[in-house]
Amino acid sequence: MSAARNHVDLLTFLYGRRAAGDVAPLVDAVSDDVEWCSVGQPGTLPWSGTWKGKAGVAAFFEAVAGAVDVVAFDLLDHMGDDDQIAFLCKVSFRSKGSARIHEVQKVDIFTFRDGKIVKFWEIFQLQPVLASLQPGA
């Protein structure tokens, strides 16, 4: 089995665990020096910016969980080579304190080294997500 197939299988498992609210396997799958990046400058969204190391990845997911509840996480497609995999995803979420469900499509890009995730980029349209976090949205 190719490295790319192994990485896709691992990421599919990790997305499933994330959708179930369990991020521990994902934190275990990153390198000690991982760089985890989400769209926007730090402070744009509670989780925007660059997070470093396992503790940074755990803090990233705490920031996300503090702002939104993920209702559904759908993997739509993926592509990649041995060390870099990109997933197209659809995330359904609601802001804390809101009943309204919002959806956003995003691209997640993972870079692997020695079987560990060393870099992550999350790219999506920032404005709709910012608007969903506003009071009354």
- The answer to whether the CB of 133 falls within 8 A of the CB of 67 is yes
pLDDT at 2 over 80: no
Q: pLDDT band for position 82 (50/70/90)? A: confident
Specify if 30 maps to a domain.
Answer: yes
Q: What is the mean pLDDT of residues 35-47?
A: 94
What tokens does 52 get? 């470093």
* CA distances (Å), origin 83, targets 2, 28, 78, 80: 10, 18, 13, 8
Residue 1: its pLDDT value, please? 56
pTM of this structure: 0.92
Residue 20: its pLDDT value, please? 86
What residues are paired with 38 via a beta bridge?
A: 49, 122
Residue 134: its pLDDT value, please? 86
Specify if 13 maps to a domain.
Answer: yes
- The answer to whether the CB of 113 falls within 8 A of the CB of 127 is no
CATH of the domain at 50: 3.10.450.50
| Domain residue limits at 15 | 3-131
Q: What is the mean pLDDT of residues 61-71?
A: 94
Number of compact structural domains in the chain: 1
Residue 101 is given by DSSP the state -
Specify if 76 maps to a domain.
Answer: yes
Specify if 137 maps to a domain.
Answer: no
Specify if 81 maps to a domain.
Answer: yes
Specify if 136 maps to a domain.
Answer: no
Residue 3: its pLDDT value, please? 80
d(C-alpha 92, C-alpha 71), whole Å: 5
